[in-house]
Amino acid sequence: MMHEYFTSSELKNSRVRTVSQHEINPNGRFILYWMTACRRYNYNASLDYAISLSKELSKPILVVEAVSITHKFANDRILSFMIQGMMNNSRDFQENNITYIPWVEIKQKAGDKMLLSLSKHASCVILDDYPTYTPNKILRAAPKILKLRVDAVDSNGILPMMWAEKEFTTAYSFRKYMQKSLVDALQTIPAMNSMDGVEDNLSLTSDDLEFLREETNLEATPLEWLWRVSEGGTVGDRAMADFPIDHSVPAVKETIGGIDEARMRLQKFLNYKLNKYSIDRNNPDTPAVSGLSPWLHFGHISSFEIIEKVFDKENWSVGSLNHEDTGKGTRSGWWGTSESASSFLDQIITWRELGFNYAYNRIDHATIETIPNWAKISMTEHINDDRTLYSLEELEQAETHDEIWNASQRELVRTGQMHNYMRMLWGKKILEWSPDPETAAERMIYINDKWALDGRDPNSYTGIFWVLGRHDRAWGPERPIFGKVRYMSSESAMRKLKLKNYLERYAKEDTMTLAKFG
């Protein structure tokens, strides 16, 4: 186990930052952890930090997992997945004697008021440090409205986000940085169970909870309603029917949120797919991938846990590293693991955390302003090139002449996920079929944030803007529309990939017709 070798020393300096100008309230009744992104019990740096403060201040901990229904893409798919995770969390926090309240906004804009009301009785507030979308909006707003210390804690990846003093523009440069920083970063990983060795009772008393009910109207969302939503199907649909959210994006019955499901899928990946990852991860017919991005996005499982399991399977230790190549950005051979494990680790650390690094250091990370100048200039030079145009509605409904692209869009709409190679092709074709790069970016963000379970994420925006040249280099020869931006085509995909089963699986009708593409 990795934790036999590494401990969470220097956690506070590495993963915690104070984002308000106020001090701890010594008269507060509890430490409030307002959970917004790291939605789990295990490997949770925010919880680690809350427990250390609890010991220091002799205060109990109140964990409120808040779910907003007011964000732009609130829908049945997202809400049901999050609530399924809440059901697992309710059990895990209860078993470890920490007061946990699952709280879903019943009324619009209620979240801000509840956080403010609870903060008036707290010693300090802890938030998850997440660099995009709703959790980041909460993180930016809280210090302006709360009159006590607010600390942000980073549980996102192996490398603490605050360590890098700049955004990295290529995976190669970030990989060099990662290699130099890895051994130190492993020492900042939060405990698997932060309550191990803690004998004190850190939960709120019944008197404290009654006081909060009277003063703030805090009530846990009824367990019976949470259970109905988590059941899915018709029962879940009916439970969510009265909520002012988008009901046109349905829950995915086969994809269940929460740590239990994530661990089951992780084990299947380790047992049956990891050894094929380097060969078959780009095979849409039988992809050797973990498929864990939705659970990572919602914080139901930690990349710490996934990586630790891979290390265990590979019998890895720090001594396995090729120290002579450390800092050179070498992909193959540096980890001292099998080729498939090395390839997977590069994806889940280098590429995933490159997205967090960029979002953390660039507030405009989800805008076209972040693509490199060579890409802007090159695509501008080709702005008047002839192109086939589709409307946003036609794209969203998979009504193009290209059946390979249509299949990838149907995969997204039906499952909330998309095979990674197909996602790259999907984005390139949207660029090709849009009047300009700005419109292409807007369409990719809209469709992905609406339909993808792993949308609204630093890695979503990394992938979208990679389509437009970010984290990439100029390519030649120049192509119509694309200029020097990397070109991908459905014809090439058909030649290189096994797609028969994929096209049948995501065909428009029950029976597969001859695929057309272009």
The answer to whether residue 240 is domain-embedded is no
201, 59: one domain: yes
The answer to whether residue 169 is domain-embedded is no
30, 115: one domain: yes
37, 128: one domain: yes
Longest dimension (CA), the chain: 72
311, 382: one domain: no
9, 152: one domain: yes
What is the tens place of the pLDDT at every residue in 85-142? 999 999 999 999 999 999 998 765 566 789 999 999 999 999 999 999 999 999 999 9
The answer to whether residue 471 is domain-embedded is yes
CATH number at residue 80: 3.40.50.620
In a 10 Å sphere around its CB, with 0-12 CB exposed, 13-18 middle and 19+ buried, how is residue 239 labelled? buried
Q: What is the domain count for the chain?
A: 3
Confidence of residue 67 (pLDDT cuts 50, 70, 90): very high
What is the tens place of the pLDDT at every residue in 266-324? 999 999 999 999 999 999 999 999 999 999 999 999 999 999 999 999 999 999 999 99
pLDDT tops 90 at residue 7: no
Quote the domain boundaries for residue 316: 259-361
Confidence of residue 11 (pLDDT cuts 50, 70, 90): low
Q: Please provide the DSSP assignment of 88-120 as one string.
A: HHHHHHHHTT-EEEEEE-SSTTHHHHHHHHHHT
Q: How many CB atoms lie within 10 A of CB 16?
A: 21
Alpha carbon distance, N-terminus to C-terminus of the chain: 49
CATH number at residue 460: 1.10.579.10
What is the tens place of the pLDDT at every residue in 130-155? 999 999 999 999 999 999 999 999 99
396, 313: one domain: no
55, 203: one domain: yes
Among residues 270, 310, 308, the alpha carbon closest in space to that of 290 is found at 270
The answer to whether residue 326 is domain-embedded is yes
Domain boundary among 188, 209, 230: 230
The answer to whether residue 187 is domain-embedded is no
Tell me the C-alpha distance between 36 and 30, whole Å.
Answer: 18
385, 308: one domain: no
96, 134: one domain: yes
Domain boundary among 326, 361, 396: 361
The answer to whether residue 81 is domain-embedded is yes
Please tell me the least confidently modeled range out of 4-18, 53-67, 113-127: 4-18
Domain boundary among 310, 340, 361: 361
The answer to whether residue 246 is domain-embedded is no
Tell me the C-alpha distance between 395 and 447, whole Å.
Answer: 9
- Taking each helix axis as running N to C, give the angle between helix 171-186 and helix 352-361, from 0 to 180 degrees, rounded to the nearest 10: 100
225, 278: one domain: no
304, 336: one domain: yes
What is the tens place of the pLDDT at every residue in 334-352? 999 999 999 999 999 999 9
Tell me the C-alpha distance between 358 and 365, whole Å.
Answer: 7
377, 331: one domain: no
What is the tens place of the pLDDT at every residue in 350-403? 999 999 999 999 999 999 999 999 999 999 999 999 999 999 999 999 999 999
> What pLDDT does 429 receive?
98
Among residues 357, 314, 356, the alpha carbon closest in space to that of 337 is found at 314
Confidence of residue 1 (pLDDT cuts 50, 70, 90): very low
Q: Tell me how long the chain is.
A: 518
The answer to whether residue 410 is domain-embedded is yes
The answer to whether 139 and 295 are in contact (CB under 8 A) is: no
Mean pLDDT, rounded, for 408-428:
97
> What pLDDT does 30 receive?
98
